[in-house]
């Protein structure tokens, strides 16, 4: 039996009315990101993950959120700050392995490049997500670190100067 390839997920810019679905995703994964949930940084992460926190970022020109959607349900998100830093990148449980993360990353990379970033995109990857970012073309930009109860690996994706396929 030949397995049919999964369709490429629909990816779009997030809208203000998406805040509750985005918040649900962020609040689900936030405890996996922080090890000291009462630390100041953890409290900032949780506050930014609330519906009001998401709405504030959706209204802030420094941020852009992209959503993968299937049947009116947001299945994954990626957000960039200042066109060069991934702040959030999550695919809902039950939707992994369906090319959603790859589609989100491709759209974010193309959007960043179309807005003038031809250098790099940075992320503070959780230790668990490091292999995923490596698969997407990121490299470690330093040693694993801990900051106020959040453990991460600084990583960077460098745009290829001659690669115009992202534009």
DSSP per-residue string spanning 7-47: PPPEEEE--GGGHHHHHHHHHHHHHHHBS-TTSHHHHHHHH
How far is 92 from 88, CA to CA, in rounded Å?
12
pTM of the predicted model as reported, rounded to 2 decimal places: 0.88
Task: Give tens-digit pLDDT for 75-119.
Answer: 999 999 999 999 999 999 989 888 999 999 999 999 999 999 999
Q: Structural domains in the chain?
A: 10-158 (3.40.630.30)
């Amino acid at each position: 039996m030949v397995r049919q390839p999964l369709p490429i997920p629909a990816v779009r810019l997030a809208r203000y009315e998406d805040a509750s679905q985005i918040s649900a995703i962020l609040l689900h994964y936030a405890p996996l990101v922080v090890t000291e949930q009462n630390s100041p940084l953890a409290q900032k992460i949780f506050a930014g993950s609330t519906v009001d926190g998401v709405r504030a970022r959706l209204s802030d020109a420094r941020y852009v959120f992209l959503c993968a959607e299937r049947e009116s349900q947001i299945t994954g998100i990626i957000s960039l700050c200042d066109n060069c830093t991934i702040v959030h990148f999550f695919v809902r449980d039950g939707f992994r392995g369906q090319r959603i993360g790859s589609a989100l990353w491709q759209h974010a990379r193309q959007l960043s490049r179309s807005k003038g970033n031809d250098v790099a995109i940075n992320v503070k990857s959780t230790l668990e997500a490091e292999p995923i970012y490596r698969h997407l073309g990121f490299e470690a930009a330093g040693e694993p670190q801990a900051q106020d109860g959040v453990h991460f690996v600084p990583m960077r994706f460098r745009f290829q100067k001659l690669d115009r396929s992202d534009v």
